[in-house]
Amino acid sequence: AFEDTATGTPLSAIAEAFEELSALVSSSGSFDDLRLKPFCDACSLVSILFGCLGIAFKFAEMEYVSKVRDLTEASKRYATLNSILDFDVKNDSVRTPGSLSRNLRRVRQGLDLIRVIFQNFPSSDECSLKEAASTAYAKVCAPYHTWPVRTAVSAGMCALPTREQLLLRLNETDKSAGKEMRRYINASLPVIEYIDKLYISRNISLDW
């Protein structure tokens, strides 16, 4: 894993990290046991992507990074994702702004957003990255975001790089990016579903 991070591209490092996580959640018997630290380490890698998007999504980066940082900090006290939920259920703070269960829900939405953007990643420069990203955002995140945030995001979409520029910044070709994106799409889904189950199994709805 370390060598891949040192010599590979940012996308390959992200794909690798999520493949490792997905192996953990898929192996039988480990349902209760996804540990917070490796989860946060994988989530931290994602912030590399923000650097390729330009200044318009600086606020999104700060939002995302601070939530991952809180979770990383908490990993010294809570070993697993399950234990975070247990704590917040007991304290009736699952949906309280800034709580760990709420931050986990937000980070999960970010991971899903990337997954859907990758799924819809335009196959040529004729279809725009802006459209693919806007459609994914409208589906995955917008329903849960406030009006000012949605407005800032739609303004930011106009400042996104072109597909070609993004590939250059990521040090990928069409072909290599497609491969790494597919790896992330496949590996992130079980992790996202695992997180959803943490809430659903406690009768917590996911409409927020």
Minimum distance of ligand 1PZ from residue 32's CB (angstroms): 25
Task: Report yes or no: 31 and 80 within 8 Å, Cβ to Cβ.
Answer: no
Out of 35, 102, 115, 183, name the contact with ligand 1PZ by CB under 6 A: 102
Select 34 or 177, whichever has its Cβ closest to ligand 1PZ: 177
Out of 22, 85, 108, 110, name the contact with ligand 1PZ by CB under 6 A: 110
Question: Could you say which DSSP state residue 205 is in?
Answer: -
Out of 50, 86, 87, 202, name the contact with ligand 1PZ by CB under 6 A: 50
Q: Is 67 in the site for ligand 1PZ (CB under 6 A)?
A: yes
With CB atoms as reference, the residue minimizing the distance to ligand 1PZ is: 110
CA distance 155 to 151: 6
Task: Report yes or no: 15 and 25 within 8 Å, Cβ to Cβ.
Answer: no
Q: Could you write out the three-class secondary structure of 149-184?
A: HHHHHHHHHCCCCCHHHHHHHCCCCHHHHHHHHHHH
Q: Is 10 in the site for ligand 1PZ (CB under 6 A)?
A: no
CB neighbour list of residue 28: distance below 8 Å, 6 or more residues apart: none
Q: Is 72 in the site for ligand 1PZ (CB under 6 A)?
A: no
Q: Which two tokens stand for residue 84?
A: 């975070």
CA distance 20 to 33: 14
Minimum distance of ligand 1PZ from residue 182's CB (angstroms): 15
Select 31 or 182, whichever has its Cβ closest to ligand 1PZ: 182
Which residues sit at the interface with ligand 1PZ, rule CB under 6 A? Answer: 49-50, 53, 57, 60, 63-64, 67, 97, 102, 106, 109-110, 113-114, 117, 129, 133, 137, 141, 145, 149, 153
